[in-house]
Amino acid sequence: VVLSWLIVPFGQNLLISNVGIGIFLWIALSSIQPIGLLMSGYASNNKYSLLGGLRAAAQSISYEIPLALS
């Protein structure tokens, strides 16, 4: 939640300035989570955990796309 407020680009006199860069940064920061899910599934050295990590990453990505579009 804090990261969502940190990326709002404030300009002079605390006015919101370049919104496009803020949205791009928010999408870039939110796309880091599936990498952690994949790595945790792979690091367990178990095929079922790997499948669970792949499923969690796919679910996370499928929720991020509509959120970014809205």
Tell whether the model's pLDDT for residue 54 goes beyond 90: yes
Q: Look at 64 and 14; give whichever has higher pLDDT.
A: 64
- Give Dmax (Cα) for the chain: 54
Count CB atoms within 10 A of the CB of residue 53: 21
Q: Mean of the pLDDT values across residues 20-49? A: 84
Average pLDDT over the chain reads 80
Q: Mean of the pLDDT values across residues 24-30? A: 77
